[in-house]
Amino acid sequence: MKLTIKEIENKIHTLREEENKLRAFMHELQNDERTGVKKILMKHERALEAARLLRDRFDQMMVYEKEWTSLGKRMIAGLDEAGRGPLAGPVVAAAAILKPGTYIAGLNDSKMLSESRREELFEEIMKNTVSVGIGLVTAQEIDEINIYQASRKAMVKAVKALKVQPDHLLIDAMELPLAVTQSKIIKGDAKSVTIAAASIVAKVTRDRYMKQLHRIHPHYHFNTNMGYGTKEHLEALEKFGPVEEHRRSFSPVQQGSLL
């Protein structure tokens, strides 16, 4: 007796974590001529292909982790920062050590993801880390030492905030004054799983900070522009002048502070 459409959907749902069994069941359905069954097969074949592509992408982004693991490294931390370009707020860095064997579908450079997807992945990352460290450098410090040095300082603070000592660092386009081996990877947030994880943690952490800041200074709409120089932000800066969270060393803020 043939399964009903609903029964087929339910069985596929129960098998979705066992890919081999799912594919075998879907193969059995190939000779079913019912239109509803063919639609179900097409939908789930697309889903399996999408999942395969995500897995392939993840495996490609594990190349640096695999290389250093083969050399005996076990606690490999990825590092990235968020907030170099904004006119206001801190620069925030994150260091992340993922648990061995972790697979997080869709992990990518935070800039390539929607806000809702970053939030989802942030939760997955936090569940699958050995340790996460956050480093924050304020707008005032950025003005004192420049944004490049502030980004480095934030990354160093993030490493030192880890509860587990890393034995290698994978860093997005930077070298740090730390006594641990490290790899400087250009556009590393799109090439390394652990750097991508760090980029998402840094971005989500900073965005949450800016949303809190919006409650104190609503005129600047920090909850939507995250401190970047949008039209509404620049207009508010011209009208109200800068606040303590603005970076005085950044040109548009300098102009606003003279008004």
Q: What is the pLDDT of residue 255?
A: 67
Q: What is the pLDDT of residue 256?
A: 55
- Structural domains of the chain sorted by starting position, each given as residue range(s) with its CATH number in brackets: 5-60 (no CATH), 63-206 (3.30.420.10), 212-257 (no CATH)
pLDDT band for position 17 (cuts 50, 70, 90): confident
Q: What is the pLDDT of residue 121?
A: 98
Q: Is 172 annotated as a binding residue?
A: yes
- Residues 6 or more apart whose Cβ sits within 8 Å of residue 31: none
3-state percent breakdown (helix, strand, coil) of the chain, nearest 5? 55, 15, 30
Q: Structure pTM?
A: 0.88
pLDDT band for position 16 (cuts 50, 70, 90): confident
Element holding 129 (H helix, E strand) = strand 129-137
Residue whose C-alpha is closest to residue 210's, from 53, 102, 87: 87
CB 251 within 8 A of CB 230: no
Q: What digits encode the pLDDT tens for the residues 116-171? A: 999 999 999 999 999 999 999 999 999 999 999 999 999 999 999 999 999 999 99
In angstroms, rounded to a whole number, what is the distance separating the alpha carbons of residues 158 and 110?
Answer: 18
Give the pair of three-digit tokens for residue 42.
């097409």
Q: What are phi and psi of 136, to 5 degrees?
A: -125, 135
Give the pair of three-digit tokens for residue 27.
């193969």
Average pLDDT over residues 219-246: 96
Q: What digits encode the pLDDT tens for the residues 21-60? A: 888 988 888 989 899 999 999 998 998 899 899 999 999 9
Give the pair of three-digit tokens for residue 89.
């707020």
Q: Is 207 annotated as a binding residue?
A: no
Residues facing 185 on adjacent strands:
172
In angstroms, rounded to a whole number, what is the distance separating the alpha carbons of residues 56 and 103?
Answer: 11
User: Is residue 80 pLDDT above 80, yes or no?
Assistant: yes
